[in-house]
Structure 1
């Protein structure tokens, strides 16, 4: 199991401009993002925190035209971290991935409340989760009862894009103080245009897009296609991401100094972060399974 030490590790972002923390991302955000893929995220969260967590709810909604594929999120309170957690699940089926691609190519982008345009699949999926489940009401109650806590928002792949839209919306609509939001996104596809990227940079200053080496999904849609552009700040691990691995921080949006500098990309790097296979992790009850154990 992951050992979660009783340290806040920048849990409360009471001031803007805090630095990226590898331990925070590796031992908190990544397993919590991975838990969203499990059949029982409540069990995962309680296991990760030795029962010292309050699981509020899991929210599932049909999110594309097939009426089959679903998007999912969960909400929890982490008292030892003084944090509220909002985590989104990534793409769950090949059919859902096909729908994401089709919508991206053939439907117009949606206006974002904070400025710019957002991928229509991501925008509509986020809206459905908020409007067609109790997520919005539960979020309002939990944040009002835990003022002063940090708000941790995370996800992988599609979940990372949804986390980006959610964090930006929360900040833009002043549903929670922007300097208390920590957004850590893993393997995030390009989510909106450059104006959207600028909006996220402004609205959610404590944002890190973590990229594993040549993760192909982070290069989709292609840079500049229909105006798609990454927001900051990218944290690039050009290695296996095992403990102690170096990383490079690139604050500039879609910087050519980080993963955009590569000439090749692959799907394998997308499913493994911090030397832990996402599929094996979620299927093994949120136990840590490194790539050399798979």
Structure 2
């Protein structure tokens, strides 16, 4: 594990980071350890002991520590490659606050190495959608590549809105979109019109953003909530405004010096032409030895939250743990979803196991991606 983390850290050499100095707003506030700026108007609080609650309060998804801890466990579990343990919810990450979760659909796009599941959390009275991003052979190359990505795709029917082509296509032009929407429709038909919580980590968080927007338009903004962990930016300011309008119940968790939320870069002197986060960020970091969850302002780019970390202190290792939960692939070497078997063999084996178990779980697996216009 230590060797893996050192390899990940090497993805961000200081020489490359110097090129990103212009993406940081001018200094002005005092700095804490690791280059943190002192919080000012943002609200900060240490770990509260509150009951899970998915109900929105007006236009704000109220941050709830216990709820967030449950959601990060779902975002971690979707990385598991043992699909049999995943559908039975017996995997090593399928416990603690998510115990008793009922998986209703597992979705695998083998060609694009994408994986997701849909299910019902009866304790939260909510439908959960968890998405895993593409598992790259080299996370170092992925991070370096993200530095230079441009907002290069016009978002349909939204003037001036541009988004990252790869993130947009990973949801809208693959198996994920039709499979997830069908699974959510079915779950709401069987279990009632429950709220929908969408989550993902890293690239999975970026893809989850487009999923949440799609579901909010289909099922209504008040019924869809998004909570991501360490997600990169996905679009420009016009898209961020559009997103905030339709998915107001959004929390973007960031952790300490995690590099990924800083990518692709935000250039403060080109606010309309560059990538921009949508609100609302909650920054997990230490203040005077206490783990603090700082609720940031509504701009999406609060300079007193994770953006206050100086560029040379950005860290890839902080990307792999959120709220004390390891949130990484259980095999980094390659895309191991099918474990050497064909998609057809995998689907047949899983179907047989599901029938034997007596559970009702849909398995949607495709060797080739499904193109959606």
TM-score normalised per structure 1 = 0.79
**Higher gyration radius (CA):** 2
Q: 1:102 & 1:236 partners in 2: Cα distance?
A: 21
Shift of 1:109: 1.9
CA contact (8 A) 2:256 2:284 kept: yes
Shift of 1:190: 0.5
CA RMSD of aligned residues (A): 3.0
Shift of 1:30: 0.5
Matches within 5 A, 1:222-233: 222-224=265-267, 227-233=274-280
Specify the SS of the correspondent of 2:114: strand
Matches within 5 A, 1:112-151: 112=156, 116-130=161-175, 134-151=179-196
Match of 2:320 in 1: 271
Match of 2:207 in 1: 162
Shift of 1:14: 7.6
Which among 247, 250, 268 is matched to residue 207 of structure 1?
250
Summarize deviations over 1:153-197 as a string: whole Å, max 9, x none. Answer: 1000001101111111222x3x21211222111001001111111
Q: Give the total of aligned pairs.
A: 266
Match of 2:107 in 1: 59
Shift of 1:278: 2.1
Match of 1:286 in 2: none
Which structure ranks higher in relative contact order (CA pairs < 8 Å, sequence separation ≥ 6)? 2
Shift of 1:107: 8.2
Match of 1:234 in 2: 281
Question: Structure 1 residue 195 and structure 2 residue 248: aligned?
Answer: no
Which among 194, 198, 209 is matched to residue 153 of structure 1?
198
CA contact (8 A) 2:153 2:165 kept: yes
Specify the SS of the correspondent of 1:245: strand
Q: 1:22 to 1:178 in 2, by over 3 A?
A: same
Match of 1:292 in 2: none
Q: Unpaired runs of 5+ in structure 1? A: 1-6, 284-294
Q: Tell me whether 39-48 or 100-109 shows the greater mean CA deviation.
A: 100-109
Q: 1:223 & 1:103 partners in 2: Cα distance?
A: 10
CA contact (8 A) 1:15 1:179 kept: no
CA contact (8 A) 2:77 2:94 kept: no
Q: 2:97 & 2:293 partners in 1: Cα distance?
A: 27
CA contact (8 A) 1:55 1:77 kept: yes
Question: Structure 1 residue 20 and structure 2 residue 63: aligned?
Answer: yes
Summarize deviations over 1:234-254 as a string: whole Å, max 9, x none. Answer: 1011229x9x72121112221
